[in-house]
Amino acid sequence: MIPVLLIIIPLLAGVITFFFRNDKIVRSWGLLTSLVILALSVYGVSLSGDSSLLTAKADWLQSLGSSFFVRIDGVGKILTLLTAVSFPIIFTGTWNSQYKKPNSFYALMLLGQAGLMGVFVAADALLFYFFWELALIPMYFIASIWGGEKRIRVTFKFFIYTFIGSVLMLVGILILQSKTGNHSFSIQAFNSLQLTNKEQSWLFWLFFVAFAVKMPIFPFHTWQPDTYEQSPSAATMVMSGIMVKMGLLGVIRWVMPIMPGAFHSWGDVAMSMSVIGIVYASLIAIRQDDLKRLIAFSSIAHIGLMNMALFAENLSGVQGVMLQMFNHGINIIGLWIIVEIIERKTGSRRMSELGGLAQKAPSMAIFFVVIALANIALPLTNAFPGEFLMFNSLLTARTTQLYAILFTVFAGLGIILGAVYTLNMIRKTFYGETNAVTAVVSDLSINEKIALSVIVGLIIVIGIYPQFILDITNNFSETLANKRFIPQAIITK
C-alpha cells in the first residue's frame, strides 16, 4: 500500500497545484505534501522487509504481460527515503526563490517526485520504463521554462541524451520480456532468466548505456554540467540529488541480478570508464570558475566512484553505495541551496567575482564549510563511512589484483583533487576581503537556516553512527551479494 501512496499523493497533489493561484498557498501546499510523503516514507522504512504494506500489485496491461507491481525493497527504502527527505529540504531551502507561475513550477516538481518514487518502487519492467520517462518529463519542462539563457539548447540536449538511453533500455526490456516463459515484465521473471553470455553482453550494454547517461559516467556526461548550470536551482537539486540515483538503482536492480555474467566480464571496462571519469572530472573541476559547474563536475567524480564500487562486486561496495547514495543526495542539495542563495544575493556564480562572504554571512559560511567538508568525505561527516566502504571494496574488487590496486590508487587521486577544488571553492567564495559584489550580502534567512540545519544534522549524525542507514539495506545487499554475484570460486577458475 505504501508504495502506491508514495506515487499517488504527489501525483494528485501535483495536478491539484495547477489550479492554485496564490503564491503562498502554492508553496505551503507543496511543502505540506512533501512532509506528508516524508512521514509516510519514514513509516515505510521502519517496517520490516516482508511487511505486506510494502508491496502492492494490480492488473495493468495484462495482455502485454505487465502489471502494476510495486514493492519497496532495501534499495527502494533508501531511495524513497532520500526522495522524501530531499523535497521538504528543497522546498524550504528555496522558499525565497521567485518564479513566474509558481503553481506550474510546484506542480511539475511534485509530478517529478511521483515519477521518481515510481522508478524506485517499480518491480515491473514496463512500469519502470513508464516512470523512468515520467520522472524525466517534468524536469525537462522546468528546465526549459524557468531555466537560464541557453536553456532551450541545453535542455534539448539533455532530453535527447537521456531519451536515446531510455530507448536502448526499452529495447533491452522488450528482448528480456520475449525471453521469459510467459512473456512477463515482472522482475521475478527477469531474475529467473538463464541467459547465455552473448545475450548478457548485448543486454548489458543496452541497459548500461541508459544508466550511464543518467548517472552520468564518462564519456556520457556532457549534458550534465550544462543542464545543471542552466536549470533553476530547485530542478538542479532534484536532478543531481535524486535523479542521478536512478542510474545507480538501474544498475543495482536491473543489471546486476539479471546479467551477472556480463556484469562481471564487463566490470573492468565499466570501472575503467568510471576511474577515468573521476580523475578527469576532478581535474576539470579544479579549473572551473562557475560554482554550479564546479559542483557538477565534482558530482561526476563522486558518482563515478559509486559506480566503481558496484562493479567491484562485493558486499562492502554495495553497502557503501547504498549509504553514499543517500549522503551524496543530501550533501549536494545542501551545496546547491547555498549556491542558489549566493547567486540570488550577488547575481554572480563566478568565484573570481566573489570573496569575503564569511564576513558578511558567517552562518552561511559555517554551513557551507561543513557541507563542503562532507563533500570531500572528512571523517565524522556522512560521506566518510560511505567512501571508506567503497574504497575498501575497490581493493578487493573481483578483477586481477593489479587492476584492483590501480583502480584504488587512481580513484584515490580523486580524494586529493577533491580537496583541492573544494578548498579552493571555499577560499575564493567565502574567505578573503569583500568586494563590490559581495559587500551587500546579508546572512541566511530563517527558512534557509532550517533547511541547512537539517542537512548538517544528517551529515553529523550519519557521520558518527552510519550503522542505522546501513541496517536498512543490510539484508538486501547481503542477498544480492550472496545470491546474485558470480561466486568467487567460478571466477578464479
Q: Which residues bind another protein (CB under 8 A)?
A: 157, 160-161, 218-219, 221-223, 280, 283-284, 286-288, 315-316, 319-320, 356, 358-359, 362, 373, 378-380, 384-385, 388-389, 391-392, 394-396, 408-409, 412-413, 415-416, 419-420, 423-424, 427, 430-433, 465-467, 470, 474, 478, 481
Residue with Cβ nearer another protein (37 or 455): 455
- In the complex, the smallest distance separating the C-beta of residue 341 from another protein, rounded to whole angstroms, is 19
- Give me the residues paired with residue 186 across strands: 124
- In the complex, the smallest distance separating the C-beta of residue 41 from another protein, rounded to whole angstroms, is 24
**3-state helix vs strand vs coil in the chain, percent to 5:** 75, 5, 20
Residue with Cβ nearer another protein (97 or 424): 424
- In the complex, the smallest distance separating the C-beta of residue 297 from another protein, rounded to whole angstroms, is 9
Alpha helices in 347-400, H assignment, sequence order:
357-360, 362-375, 383-395
- In the complex, the smallest distance separating the C-beta of residue 30 from another protein, rounded to whole angstroms, is 31
Residue with Cβ nearer another protein (124 or 226): 226
Nearest Cα to Cα of residue 114 among 104, 122, 126: 122
- In the complex, the smallest distance separating the C-beta of residue 412 from another protein, rounded to whole angstroms, is 5
Residue with Cβ nearer another protein (7 or 323): 323
Residue with Cβ nearer another protein (137 or 283): 283
Q: Which one-letter DSSP state was computed for residue 486?
A: P
Nearest Cα to Cα of residue 330 among 391, 386, 411: 386
Helix-then-strand count for the chain, H and E: 22, 2
Residue with Cβ nearer another protein (12 or 380): 380
Nearest Cα to Cα of residue 412 among 311, 325, 309, 305: 305
The Cα 208–Cα 188 span in angstroms is: 20
> 153 in helix, strand or coil?
helix
Query: How many angstroms separate the Cα of 93 from the Cα of each of 293, 330, 438?
Result: 20, 12, 21
Residue located via cell numbers 549556491: 339
- In the complex, the smallest distance separating the C-beta of residue 218 from another protein, rounded to whole angstroms, is 8
The Cα 246–Cα 80 span in angstroms is: 11
- In the complex, the smallest distance separating the C-beta of residue 258 from another protein, rounded to whole angstroms, is 23
Residue with Cβ nearer another protein (103 or 314): 314
Residue with Cβ nearer another protein (332 or 376): 376
- In the complex, the smallest distance separating the C-beta of residue 224 from another protein, rounded to whole angstroms, is 11
Judge residue 133's burial from the number of C-beta atoms within 10 Å of its C-beta, 0-12 exposed, 13-18 middle, 19 or more buried. middle
Residue located via cell numbers 584515490: 412
Residue with Cβ nearer another protein (47 or 419): 419
- In the complex, the smallest distance separating the C-beta of residue 29 from another protein, rounded to whole angstroms, is 34
| Cα 108 to chain centroid, rounded | 18
Q: What are phi and psi of 310, to 5 degrees?
A: -65, -45
